[in-house]
Structure 1
Amino acid sequence: MGTTAPRRRARRRLTGALAAVAVLAGVVTGCDGGEPASEGERGAQAGPRWNTAPTSIAAVGDSITRGFDACSVLADCPEVSWATGDDPAVDSLATRLIGAAQAPARSWNHAVTGSRMADLPGQLASAAAHKPDLVTVMVGSNDACRPLASSMTSVADFRAGFEKALAGLRAASPTSQVYVSSVPDLQRLWEQGKDLPMVRQIWKLGICQSMLADPLSLATGATSRREEVRARVVEYNEVLREVCAKDPLCRYDGGAVFQYPFSAEQLSRWDFFHPGKDGQARLAELAHRQVTAAKPPR
C-alpha cells in the first residue's frame, strides 16, 4: 500500500510523456486529425491521371498502322488501320472511342510504311500539332526486319530514339496521352507462313529477311539468326516499357501485341506477314482494352 501513490505518479508521468510524443509526431507529419484525403486529392498528389475516354487520336508508326497489304498487294490501306481506320469490319480504336460519325474529323494517321524508330521524332512532331488527347505508337518491326540480322538497330539507338521522340511530344503537347504497342513476335509470323510455297516465294521479294530468309532451313546459322532477331524484339519491348514508365501519361500495352497468337487467318493474304483486316481488328480490340482500363497492364 505504501508504494501505490508513487506508482500512480510514475504512470501519470509516462502517460503524459506519450501524449506529448503523439502531439509532436502530429506536428512533424502534418497530421491535423481531419478527414483523410479524397481520391481526387490523392490523384493530384500522384500526378496527372489517365483519361480512359479520349476524344481525339493521332497515330504514328510503320506499315502496320498504315494497313499495308491488308486490302491489296504492296499498298497502304489506312481505312482498315487498327488505330484510325473507318472500316466497320475493323472497328478501329478511334471508332470505338470517338464513334463512327466523329472519328474522321478527330483522328489523324501520321504513320509511314517502312518507318523505324529514327523516324518517330518527326512523326510525333506532326502528331503533336493536333494537340490530340491520345497518341498511339507502334514502331520497331522495321528496326528488327533488316536485310541482315547484323543490320538491326542497336538497343542503345532504339532507346535514344524513343526518349527523344517522347520528349519532343511532351514539350509540344504536354497533356497528350501516349499508348505504346509492343513490337509483334516476328518469329511467330514466320511460323505461320513458312510451310506455304506461295508465301515463301513472296518472302523472297525482300520482306523482313533477317527473320524470313531461308524460311525452311533448320541449319544452325538460320536458327540462330531467327533467335537473334526475336531476342532483339524482346529487348526493344523492354526499352518501350522502361521509357514509357517514366512518363505519367504514357501507357505500354504490357506485351499484349507481342504475346497475341496471330493465326494465318489474321494475316495478309498477300504476304502472310502484315495483319489483314481481321488482324487489324484484333489490334484495335487489344488497344481499346488497354486504353480504357482503369489501371495500366502489369
Structure 2
Amino acid sequence: MRNRGHRSRAVLAVAVVALLGIAGCDASGGNSSAPSGTGGHASPKPTPAWDRNPASMAAVGDSITRGFDACSVLSDCPEVSWATGSDPRVRSLAVRLLGRTGAAERSWNYAVTGARMDDLPGQMAQAATRRPELVTVMAGANDACRASTSAMTSVTAFRRSFQDALDTLRGALPKTQVYVSSVPDLKRLWSQGRGNALGKQIWKLGICPSMLGDADSLTSAATLRRDRVQDRVEAY
C-alpha cells in the first residue's frame, strides 16, 4: 500500500470526478428578470465554458490529497498527491495542467490529514488568498470514518459545510473553477484490502473503525455496520 505508483492509481480509481461548472454569475445576464413576452419565465442559464488551461491551482481536502501513508507508514507525503504532487510517477493534476515548473511555483496544497467537511471552509479561505484559477476538492471520507456509525456526520451538516466552503470561495473569487472528486468508496477499500495482512494490522491502529474495524468479521452486525457507512458515503 505504500507503493507510490500503486497508491496514486488507487486514489485516481476511487475518485470518480464531477466537474462543477460554478463560475459565478453568467456572462449573458441569466440572473436578470425575464424579457417581456416570455410569460415571466427566466431564460435558462448557459453552462459556463470550462477553462482547461488554468494558470494556477490549489487543493483542499484530507489525507488522500496529502498523500498520507503513501511513502511511509502513517505519514504525509504530499509529493505524491494526486492533485499537487511533484513525483513524476504520479502525473498529478497540477503537473498535467501547469507543467512541472508551473506546478512547483503555482500550485498549493491546503489539505489536512484527518480533516472533515466542517474543516473545508477554513481550508478554502486559505486557498482563496492565493487567488488560484482552479481549486480541487476531495473530502468526506473522515465524516464517515468515525468510531461508530452513530458518530458519522449527518448529510444535512455535510451539505451545509460544503456549501459554506463554496460560498467562501465564491465571495473571494467568483470566477475560480472547482473540480470536485467524490468521496472514496470505503466499502471497496475494505473488500480489496482485507486480504492484505499488513494493511489489516495498520487498520487496527484506528484507521476508519466504522468500516475497517474487525475487518475479517462477516457477521450480520458487521455487515450491517459496513452497509450503514456505505449508505452514508453514497449520500455524501
Query: Is the structural similarity TM-score above 0.5?
Result: yes
Which sections of structure 2, spanning at least 5 residues, go unmatched?
A: 1-35, 39-43
Report matched runs for 1:97-112 at 5 Å: 97-112=97-112
Residue 225 of structure 1 corresponds to 225
Q: CA deviation at 1:100?
A: 0.7
Q: Report the number of matched residues.
A: 197
Residue 139 of structure 1 corresponds to 139
**Aligned partners of 2:74 and 2:200: how far apart in 1?**
16
Using a 3 Å threshold, how does the CA distance of structure 1 residues 48 and 216 change in structure 2: closer, same or farther? Answer: same
Residue 118 of structure 1 corresponds to 118
Q: CA deviation at 1:28?
A: 5.3
Residue 195 of structure 1 corresponds to 195
Residue 6 of structure 2 corresponds to none
**Aligned partners of 1:76 and 1:28: how far apart in 2?**
59
Residue 67 of structure 1 corresponds to 67
The answer as to 2:151 corresponding to 1:151 is: yes
Letter in structure 1 aligned against 2:93: L
Letter in structure 2 aligned against 1:204: K
**Aligned partners of 2:172 and 2:222: how far apart in 1?**
44
Q: CA deviation at 1:200?
A: 2.0
Letter in structure 1 aligned against 2:169: L
Letter in structure 2 aligned against 1:113: T
Letter in structure 2 aligned against 1:147: A
Report matched runs for 1:169-188 at 5 Å: 169-188=169-188
**Aligned partners of 2:61 and 2:89: how far apart in 1?**
22
Q: CA deviation at 1:74?
A: 1.1
**Aligned partners of 1:101 and 1:124: how far apart in 2?**
24
Which sections of structure 1, spanning at least 5 residues, go unmatched?
A: 1-26, 30-42, 237-298
Using a 3 Å threshold, how does the CA distance of structure 1 residues 28 and 154 change in structure 2: closer, same or farther? Answer: closer
What SS does the aligned partner of 1:218 have? Answer: coil
Query: Is the radius of gyration larger for structure 1 or structure 2?
Result: 1
What SS does the aligned partner of 2:178 have? Answer: strand
Q: CA deviation at 1:48?
A: 3.6
Residue 162 of structure 2 corresponds to 162
**Larger helix fraction of residues:** 1
| Displacement over 6 Å in runs of 4+ | none
Residue 93 of structure 1 corresponds to 93
Residue 268 of structure 1 corresponds to none
Residue 51 of structure 1 corresponds to 51
